[in-house]
C-alpha cells in the first residue's frame, strides 16, 4: 500500500497566550470578578500575548523550511503548534505523516535513571513496539559509545557523555516530518564528524523539514525555503537565498 | 542502522482547528483516552520508576510505607478500641482496611492535583495523550496500595479472621475505583493547572473529609444519624470495598449511591476534559 505524501498545511493560525501570572491565576480574583459582575469584562481585558497571528503556509513532500526571526518572534511556538502541543486558538493545522519534534534535548530523560532506562523511556514515549525498542537500544548504545556507562545513572555522566546519549536518542527515530529547534545545532562547530553525518542523514531521510535557527550557513545549506517571522507574523516567505539576503541585510530592531 | 517508523504508521494525520463543535471535541477526547491506553506500557514504566526513584538508595524501599501504615494501624487500633470501648478483634480489621483505603484515596487526590503540572517538560515538548498522566498517577498509587495491603493481610492473619465468600462482593468495586481515580486525575489535574489555589483547597477538604467519614470511627457509632451517611460519597466508596471484606454485603443503597456519585464525577471530569484538553498545554 502506498502511503500518501507527507504534507503540512496551516491556515490562518493564531495563538494567544493568556498571561496567568501572579494574581490573575487565582480563583479569588475570578470569584470576586464574577460576584461583581465583571467576569465578562475581565475576560476581555485579560492580558494576552499574541504569539502567532494569521500564519498561512503549506509544505509538500521534499520541502525544507527554515524559520528565522529574532528571539520571541514565534519560531518555537510555531514548531509547537506543528507538533500538536499547542492547539491554535484560531485557524487550522493539518499534518500528514509521522512526526518527530526535536524541541527539548532532554525530553523525558531523568538523570537518576541509567542510560538504558532512559533509552527505554524515550522509545516508549515514541510509542515503539518491543522489537523496535530493542533496536533503538542497540543503535543508541553503539552510537553514543557509552559501553559500560549505559547501566549507570546518567547523573554521573560527563557533560560529553550526556550530550552523546541525548543526541543519539534524538536522531535514532527517523520520521517523515522532522521539526527541529535550534538547540540541536548549538555548538556544532566542535561537533564530531560522525554526529554531523548522522544528523544530515536524518534530515535527508525526512520528507519535510522545519528548522528553527539563527544560523545563516545551515539555513542556506539545508533549506529550500525560509519563513521569516517577526512578532508572530510572517514577514517574508520564499526561496531560502532570497529571504536570507533580505533577513541578514535588515538590522535588528 | 536507525529506526524507520513502520509503513502502517505513515498515514498518521494530525489535524487541529479552532471553534470545534462538541462532537469534534468529544472525538478528540476519546482519541486522547485511547491513545493513553495504547501507551499503557509507558504509563506503567513511569509509575513504577516514580516509586523506585522515591525510595532510591533505601534498603526497604516502599516497604517503609507498609511499616508506617502498620505501626499507625497498630497504635491507633489499641488507642481507639479503648476510647470507643470496642474489642480489638472487632475494631482492628476495620481500622486496617479503612486506613489503607483512605491512604490510597487521599494520596491519589493529592497527587491528581499535580497530574499535569508535574509533567510540564514532557507536555511542552511532545504531543502526548493527557490520559497517560492520569494513568501514571493511578499506577503509582496502586503500587503503593499493593505494599500497604500487607498490613491488612497481617492483621487478618493475626486475628485468624477470614471474610469468606462475601469478600468476592468487593470485586465489582474495583473498576469503579479505577474509573473514579482516572476521572479525578483528569479533573483535578486540569483545574489545578489552571487555578493554582485549588490544590490547598483540595488538601483541606480531604482533611475535613477524613474526620467526617467513617475511617477511624465505625458507621454504627453514629446510631440513628447513620441514615445520613450515604450522602457522604467517601462513605459509599469505602463501604463497597470494606464491608464485603469484613464479611458483610454492602446495602443496595450504598452501592446505588457509590454508582451515582461515580457517574457524577466521571461526567463532570469528561465535560471538563472536553473543554480543557486543548488548553492544558497553555496552562502549565
Q: Mind telling me how many Å the CA of A87 is from chain B's nearest CA?
A: 6
Q: What is the pLDDT of residue A250?
A: 79
3-state secondary structure of A246: helix
Chain center to CA of A78:
8
pLDDT at A41: 38
Residues in A touching B18 (Cβ below 8 Å): 88-92
Place of cell 485511547: B34
* CA nearest neighbour of A77 among A113, A53, A44: A53
Residue A102, pLDDT score: 87
Contacts of A80 in chain B (CB under 8 A): 124, 281
More confident residue, B58 or B171: B171
Element (DSSP H or E) covering residue A235: strand A233-239
| Contact criterion met (CB < 8 Å) for A125 and B126 | yes
- Name the region of B39 (left: φ>0; alpha: ψ -120 to 50; beta: rest): alpha
Q: What is the pLDDT of residue A107?
A: 80
Choose from A108, A128, A172, A210 for mutation: most chain B CBs within 10 A: A108
Is residue B135 predicted with pLDDT exceeding 50?
Answer: yes
Walking along chain A (253 residues) 10 residues at a time, the average pLDDT comes out as 74 82 54 48 60 91 92 89 89 88 82 92 89 92 89 90 86 88 61 78 89 86 92 91 89 61
Task: For residue B113, give every residue at least 6 positions away whose Cβ sits within 8 Å of its Cβ, in sequence order, or none.
Answer: B188, B189, B192, B198, B199, B202
Which residue does chain B place closest to A83, by CA atoms? B127
**Residue A50 vs residue B253, higher pLDDT:** B253
Q: Give just the sign of the alpha carbon dihedral B182, B185, B188, B193.
A: negative
Q: What is the pLDDT of residue B155?
A: 94
Residue B191, C-alpha cell as written in the block: 483545574
Query: What count of CB pairs under 8 Å joins A to B?
Result: 142
Cβ neighbours for A19, distance < 8 A, ≥ 6 positions apart: A46, A47, A48, A49
Using a CB-CB cut-off of 8 Å, the residues of chain B touching A17 are 282
Minimum-distance CB partner of B5 among A98, A112, A120: A98
As a three-state string, the secondary structure of B192-260 is HHHCCCHHHHHHHHHHHHHHHCCCCCCHHHHHHHHHHHHHCHHHHHHHHHHHHHCCCCCCHHHHHHHHH
More confident residue, A191 or B234: B234
pLDDT digits (tens, 9 = 90+) for A5-26: 889 999 999 888 877 644 455 5
State whether A124 and B1 contact (CB < 8 Å): no
List B residues 103-142 in contact with A (Cβ-Cβ < 8 A): 121-128
On chain A, the residues whose CB falls within 8 A of the CB of B201 are 27
Inspect the interface and report whether the beta carbons of A96 and B13 lie closer than 8 Å: yes
- Cα–Cα distance list, B43 to B40, B50, B97, B132 (Å): 5, 11, 27, 6
Residue of B nearest to A136 (CA): B3
CA distance B9 to B15: 16
CA B276 from centre of chain: 21
- Among candidates A83, A87, A96 on the partner chain, residue whose Cβ is nearest the Cβ of B278: A87
Alpha-carbon dihedral A197, A200, A201, A207, rounded to 10 degrees: 180
With contacts defined as CB-CB under 8 Å, which chain A residues touch B127?
83-85, 101
Asked whether residue B8 carries a pLDDT value surpassing 50, the answer given is no
* Position B175 pLDDT exceeds 90: yes
Calculate the CA A155 to chain-centre distance. Answer: 25
Alpha helices by DSSP H, chain B: 22-38, 40-54, 63-83, 88-112, 120-123, 131-158, 173-194, 198-212, 233-245, 252-276, 280-283
* Contact at CB, B125 and A18, closer than 8 angstroms: no
* Least confident stretch, A58-67, A183-192, B155-164, B249-258: A183-192
Mean pLDDT over B78-95 rounds to 92
Position A144 scores a pLDDT of 87
ipTM of this complex: 0.84
Amino acid at each position: 500500500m502506498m502511503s500518501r505524501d507527507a504534507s503540512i498545511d496551516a491556515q490562518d493560525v493564531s495563538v494567544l497566550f493568556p498571561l496567568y501570572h501572579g494574581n490573575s491565576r487565582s480563583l479569588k480574583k475570578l470569584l470576586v470578578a464574577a460576584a461583581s459582575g465583571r467576569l465578562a469584562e475581565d475576560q476581555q481585558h485579560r492580558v494576552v500575548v499574541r504569539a502567532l497571528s494569521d500564519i498561512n503556509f503549506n509544505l509538500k513532500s521534499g520541502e525544507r523550511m527554515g524559520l528565522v526571526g529574532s528571539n520571541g518572534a514565534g519560531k518555537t511556538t510555531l514548531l509547537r503548534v506543528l507538533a500538536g502541543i499547542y492547539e491554535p486558538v484560531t485557524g487550522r493545522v493539518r499534518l500528514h505523516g509521522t512526526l518527530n519534534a526535536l524541541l527539548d534535548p532532554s525530553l523525558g530523560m531523568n538523570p537518576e535513571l541509567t542510560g538504558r532506562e532512559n533509552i527505554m523511556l524515550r522509545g516508549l514515549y515514541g510509542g515503539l513496539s518491543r522489537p523496535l525498542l530493542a533496536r533503538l537500544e542497540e543503535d543508541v548504545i553503539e552510537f553514543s559509545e557509552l559501553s559500560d556507562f549505559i547501566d549507570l545513572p546518567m547523573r554521573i555522566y560527563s557533560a560529553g557523555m550526556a550530550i552523546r546519549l541525548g543526541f543519539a536518542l534524538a536522531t535514532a527515530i527517523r520520521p517523515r516530518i522532522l521539526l527541529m529547534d535550534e538547540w540541536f545545532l548549538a555548538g556544532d562547530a566542535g561537533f564530531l564528524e560522525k554526529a554531523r553525518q548522522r544528523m544530515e542523514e536524518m534530515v535527508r531521510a525526512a520528507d519535510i523539514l522545519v528548522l528553527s535557527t539563527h544560523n545563516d550557513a545551515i539555513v542556506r545549506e539545508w533549506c529550500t525555503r525560509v519563513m521569516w517571522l517577526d512578532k508572530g507574523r510572517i514577514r517574508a516567505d520564499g526561496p531560502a537565498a532570497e529571504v536570507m539576503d533580505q533577513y541578514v541585510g535588515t538590522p535588528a530592531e | 542502522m536507525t529506526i524507520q517508523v513502520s509503513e502502517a504508521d505513515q498515514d498518521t494525520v494530525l489535524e487541529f482547528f479552532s471553534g470545534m463543535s462538541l462532537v469534534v471535541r468529544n472525538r478528540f477526547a476519546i482519541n486522547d483516552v485511547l491513545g493513553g491506553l495504547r501507551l499503557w506500557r509507558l504509563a506503567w514504566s513511569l509509575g513504577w520508576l516514580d516509586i523506585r526513584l522515591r525510595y532510591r538508595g533505601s534498603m526497604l524501599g516502599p516497604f517503609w510505607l507498609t511499616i508506617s501504615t502498620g505501626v499507625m494501624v497498630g497504635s491507633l487500633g489499641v488507642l481507639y478500641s479503648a476510647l470507643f470501648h470496642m474489642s480489638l478483634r472487632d475494631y482492628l480489621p476495620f481500622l486496617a482496611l479503612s486506613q489503607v483505603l483512605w491512604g490510597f484515596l487521599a494520596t491519589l487526590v493529592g497527587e491528581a492535583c499535580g497530574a499535569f503540572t508535574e509533567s510540564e517538560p514532557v507536555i511542552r515538548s511532545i504531543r502526548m495523550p493527557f490520559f497517560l498522566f492520569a494513568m501514571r498517577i493511578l499506577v503509582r498509587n496502586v503500587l503503593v496500595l499493593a505494599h500497604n495491603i500487607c498490613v491488612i493481610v497481617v492483621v487478618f492473619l493475626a486475628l485468624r479472621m477470614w471474610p469468606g465468600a462475601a469478600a468476592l462482593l468487593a470485586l465489582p468495586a474495583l473498576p469503579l475505583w479505577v474509573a473514579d481515580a482516572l476521572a479525578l486525575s483528569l479533573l483535578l489535574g486540569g483545574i489545578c493547572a489552571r487555578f493554582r489555589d485549588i490544590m490547598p483547597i483540595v488538601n483541606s477538604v480531604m482533611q475535613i473529609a477524613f474526620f467526617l467519614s467513617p475511617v477511624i470511627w465505625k458507621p454504627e457509632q453514629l446510631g440513628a444519624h447513620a441514615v445520613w451517611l450515604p450522602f457522604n460519597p467517601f462513605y459509599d466508596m469505602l463501604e463497597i470495598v470494606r464491608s464485603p471484606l469484613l464479611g458483610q454485603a454492602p446495602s443496595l443503597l450504598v452501592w446505588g449511591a457509590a454508582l451515582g456519585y461515580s457517574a457524577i464525577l466521571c461526567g463532570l471530569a469528561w465535560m471538563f476534559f472536553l473543554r480543557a484538553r486543548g488548553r492544558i498545554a497553555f496552562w502549565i
